[in-house]
Amino acid sequence: MRATLRPPRTLKVTGMGRTYLVVTFGVGLGALNTGNNLLYLVLGLLLSVIILSGVLSERCLRDLSVRRVGSEGAFAGEPFAFRWALTRRKGHAFALTLSEVDVPLTGEGGVGYLPAGLEHVVRADLTAPRRGPVKLVGVRVTTTWPLGLFAKTRVFPLPGTLLVYPRRGFACATPEDAATGHVGEAHHPHRLDGTGDLAGLRELAEGEDSRRVHWLKSASAGKLIKVEREREERRTYVLEVRPGLAGEALERRCEEVAEQAHRLLEAGHEVGLELPGQRLRPGAGSGQERLLLRALAWVGFEEQREEAA
Amino acid sequence: MRRPLRLRLVLRDLSTAAAFASMAISSQVPVWALVLFALALIVALTGRRPLARAPRLTALLLLPVAGALYLLVASGRMDLVVAACSFAGIVAAQRLLSESSAATDGQVLLVGLLMIAGGAALSGELVFAMCLLAFAVLASLSLGLAVVEAAVPPGEPVPVRAVMRPLARGTLLAVVGAVLFFVFIPRLNWNMGVRRATPGLGTATSGFSDTVRLGGSGTLKSNPRVVLRARLTPDPVSTEHLSAYWVGRTYDTFDGQEWSTIGAANRRHRTRVTLRPGADKQVYQRIELLPAYGSRTLIALETPAKLGNALTHTPTGDRRTRLQELGGDELRFVDDGLGYSYEVYSLPPGTDTDPGRMNETEMAQLLALPENLDPRVEQLARRVVGDEQDPLAAAQKLSAWLQREYQYTLELSGDLADPLEDFLFVRKAGHCEHFATALTLLLRTLGFEARLATGFFGGERVGDEYIVRAGDAHAWTHVLVPGRGFVTVDATPPAFRANQSLQILESLVSFYEAIEGIWRTSVVDYSFRDQIDFMRGLSRPPRDPSSPERPSGPPARAWWTAGLVALGVYGLVRYLSRRPRRPSMGEATRLVDAVERQLTRAGLPPRDGETLEDVSARFTRDAHPLGPTLAPLTRRYLEARFGQRPLESGERARMLEDLRRALDTWRQGSRSNAP
- The C-alpha atoms of residue A94 and residue B9 are separated, in whole angstroms, by 20
**Contact predicate B297/B249, CB 8 Å:** yes
More confident residue, B131 or B316: B131
Q: List, for residues B375-413, the tens digit of each pLDDT value.
A: 898 999 999 888 888 999 999 999 999 999 998 887 766
Q: Is B156 on the interface with A (CB under 8 A)?
A: yes
Per-residue confidence (pLDDT) for residue B644, from 0 to 100: 59
Q: Which residues contact B478 (CB under 8 A, 6 or more apart)?
A: B250, B450, B451, B452, B453, B486, B487, B488, B489
More confident residue, A277 or B476: B476
- What average pLDDT does this structure show over A239-249? 84
Per-residue confidence (pLDDT) for residue A308, from 0 to 100: 64
Of B106, B120, B156, nearest to A39 by CB-CB distance is B120
Of B144, B189, B582, nearest to A146 by CB-CB distance is B144
Chain A, residues 91-130, CB within 8 A of chain B, namely 92, 94-97, 109-113, 115, 123
Per-residue confidence (pLDDT) for residue A197, from 0 to 100: 74
Of A19, A35, A48, nearest to B177 by CB-CB distance is A48
- The C-alpha atoms of residue B453 and residue B252 are separated, in whole angstroms, by 9
- A30 pLDDT more than 90: no
* A38 with B106: Cβ contact below 8 A: no
Q: How many CA atoms lie within 13 A of B164 on its CB side?
A: 8
- The C-alpha atoms of residue B245 and residue B476 are separated, in whole angstroms, by 9
The DSSP H or E segment spanning A45 is helix A37-61
Main-chain phi, psi angles of B479, to 5 degrees: -105, 130
- B125 pLDDT more than 80: no
Mean pLDDT over each residue of chain B, to the nearest integer: 83
Per-residue confidence (pLDDT) for residue B206, from 0 to 100: 59
Q: List, for residues B1-22, the tens digit of each pLDDT value.
A: 567 788 899 999 999 999 999 9
Per-residue confidence (pLDDT) for residue B543, from 0 to 100: 61
Q: β-strand B429-430 against B407-408: which pairing, if any?
A: parallel
* B143 with A26: Cβ contact below 8 A: no
Least confident of B205-209, B350-354, B456-460: B205-209
pLDDT bin (cut points 50, 70, 90) of residue B199 is very low
Q: Quick one: what percent of chain B has pLDDT higher than 70?
A: 89
Per-residue confidence (pLDDT) for residue B627, from 0 to 100: 86
Q: List, for residues A112-146, the tens digit of each pLDDT value.
A: 999 988 889 999 999 998 899 999 999 999 999 88
Q: Is B580 on the interface with A (CB under 8 A)?
A: no
Per-residue confidence (pLDDT) for residue A212, from 0 to 100: 82
Q: Spell out a b/e string for B60-79, using b for 16 or more CB atoms within 10 Å of the CB, else e.
A: eeeeebeeebeebbeeeebb
Q: Quick one: what percent of chain B has pLDDT higher than 90?
A: 23
Distance from the A192 Cα atom to the nearest Cα atom in chain B, whole angstroms? 44
Q: Is B121 on the interface with A (CB under 8 A)?
A: yes
Least confident of B401-405, B441-445, B516-520: B516-520
Count of C-beta atoms within a 10 Å radius of residue B169: 11
Least confident of B166-180, B489-503, B573-587: B573-587
3-state DSSP assignment of residue B171? helix
Q: Is B76 left (phi over 0), alpha (psi -120 to 50) or beta?
A: left
Residue of B nearest to A55 (CA): B170
pLDDT bin (cut points 50, 70, 90) of residue B105 is confident
- B349 pLDDT more than 50: yes
- A61 pLDDT more than 50: yes
Chain B, residues 539-578, CB within 8 A of chain A, namely 576
Give the A:B interface size as CB pairs under 8 Å. 182
Per-residue confidence (pLDDT) for residue B185, from 0 to 100: 82
Q: List, for residues B247-306, the tens digit of each pLDDT value.
A: 998 998 988 888 888 877 777 888 888 888 877 788 999 998 888 887 889 999 988 989
What radius of gyration, in Å, describes the C-alpha atoms of chain A? 31
**Contact predicate B399/B479, CB 8 Å:** no
- B180 pLDDT more than 50: yes
ipTM summary value: 0.78
- A213 pLDDT more than 60: yes
- A85 pLDDT more than 90: yes
Count of C-beta atoms within a 10 Å radius of residue B622: 10
Per-residue confidence (pLDDT) for residue B1, from 0 to 100: 53
Within 8 A of B180 by CB-CB distance, chain A residues are 44, 48
Q: How many CA atoms lie within 13 A of B675 on its CB side?
A: 0
pLDDT bin (cut points 50, 70, 90) of residue A268 is confident
* A4 with B579: Cβ contact below 8 A: yes
The DSSP H or E segment spanning A12 is strand A9-13
Residues in chain A: 309
- The C-alpha atoms of residue A158 and residue A139 are separated, in whole angstroms, by 6
Q: List, for residues B136-149, the tens digit of each pLDDT value.
A: 999 999 999 999 99
Q: Is A20 on the interface with B (CB under 8 A)?
A: yes
Q: List, for residues B153-167, the tens digit of each pLDDT value.
A: 888 888 888 889 889
Q: Is A38 on the interface with B (CB under 8 A)?
A: yes
More confident residue, A224 or A180: A224
- What average pLDDT does this structure show over B173-198? 73
- B190 pLDDT more than 80: no
pLDDT bin (cut points 50, 70, 90) of residue B544 is low
* B166 with A35: Cβ contact below 8 A: no
Per-residue confidence (pLDDT) for residue B131, from 0 to 100: 93
Q: Is B192 on the interface with A (CB under 8 A)?
A: yes
Residue of B nearest to A110 (CA): B151
**Contact predicate B288/B525, CB 8 Å:** no
- The C-alpha atoms of residue B68 and residue B62 are separated, in whole angstroms, by 10
Residue of B306, B298, B305, B337 whose CA lies nearest to B320: B337
pLDDT bin (cut points 50, 70, 90) of residue B583 is very low
